[in-house]
Every structure is written in C-alpha cells, then in structure tokens.
Amino acid sequence: MEDLKHLNVLPDPYDPESLRLDQSFVETSGVKKLLTTVPVRKPNNQDFVRVHPDEAYRLTAAIIELKDDREVYLVLPHVAHQLPGECSPVVLYTAINRQGATFLWPVKLPRPDGKVNEWHRSAAEAAARTDMAHGNSQRAAQNWLPGPPG
C-alpha cells in the first residue's frame, strides 16, 4: 500500500533535488549520431587520417569519377568490363580524420599493363599503415607523407 501512495505523490517543483540528474544519465541517454552518408574522397591536404585495420572495412571495386561534378560512382563488375577506359579499379579504405569525419578513401590499383603510378603506390602504402597518415602529398617527390604516430 505504501508503494501506491508513493506513485501518486508529485515531486515538489521548487525543490532543486527533484531536478538533479543521476550520475549515470549520460551513459544511459542512448543518443547516438547516425551516419547516413559516407563521402568518397581523398584525404584533404591538412588531414591526418587513420584507416580501419580490418580487411572487412575495405572493398576492391570499380569506380567512375566525374571530375567536373566531383562525384564518384561504384560500377558493377560486368558493367566495368564494358567500359575499360572509363572505370578505375580501386580499393576503398574506410578512414576517419581527427575531426571524426568518416570517409572512403579510393586508392587506385596498378593498371592492367602492370605500370605502377608512384602516387597510387604511395597512397596505398599510406593507407596500409596502422597509425595516422597525413593527407598532404609531396608533389616533387610524387608521394604521400606518413603522419605522426597517432
């Protein structure tokens, strides 16, 4: 009977103790930021990025880059075979910068003729690191800079 009486009593609106949050409020609030879109892009010049080390967070795929529109599209494999000059084979690495922005970093694979572009080789090397990599590239050396240990 005591429990029923306790349920019917309203807290005193002028009592500051009735407004105090429990210490576990932040842990139990349950609010999470929902990631709804993930951009496909290279790291910005001043970004320090970390690539997810798990192979499950990588995808080898074909893409078409519309440079004028700054858009990247995934292409189905059977369509990519029909558009050999338009599509680029890439590995999409899941990456995050220090500001917490998640993105997919497209690193181009060697061309079918076996030639290796130095930019693409060094980008793949930087993406394969488990620590931070710097988004800035050295034009004269044609490579990407490793960053400080994260």
Tens digits of residue pLDDT in 76-128:
999 999 998 899 999 999 999 988 899 999 999 987 777 888 888 888 888 88
User: Is 84 a domain residue?
Assistant: yes
Is residue 18 one of the residues assigned to a domain?
Answer: no
Q: Which residue has the higher pLDDT, 148 or 37?
A: 37
Contact between 96 and 102 (Cβ < 8 Å): yes
Query: What pLDDT score does 74 carry?
Result: 94
pLDDT tier at 73, thresholds 50, 70, 90: very high
Residue 92 or 19, more confident: 92
Task: Examine residue 2 and state whether it is found in any structural domain, yes or no.
Answer: no
- The percentage of residues in the chain with a pLDDT greater than 90, rounded to a whole number, is 31
Q: Report the distance separating Cα 109 and Cα 88, nearest Å.
A: 8
Q: 114 in the Ramachandran plot: left (φ > 0), alpha (ψ -120 to 50) or beta?
A: left
Determine the pLDDT at residue 141.
Answer: 46
Q: Which residue reads 């990519």 in tokens?
A: 80
Average pLDDT over residues 22-45: 78
Q: What is the largest CA-CA distance in the chain?
A: 84
Task: Write down the pLDDT at residue 130.
Answer: 57
Domain contains 9:
no
Give the pairing type, strands 143-146 and 133-138. antiparallel
Per-residue pLDDT, 121: 85
pLDDT level of residue 26 (50, 70, 90 thresholds): low
User: Is there a domain that residue 100 lies in?
Assistant: yes
Cβ atoms of 145 and 43 within 8 Å: the answer is no
**8-state DSSP, 55:** G
Which residue range is the domain that position 99 belongs to? 35-146
Beta strands 88-97 and 71-75: pairing type? Answer: unpaired
pLDDT of res. 3:
54
Rounded to an integer, the average pLDDT of 35-40 is 87
Does a structural domain hold residue 49? Answer: yes
Q: Number of folded domains in the chain?
A: 1
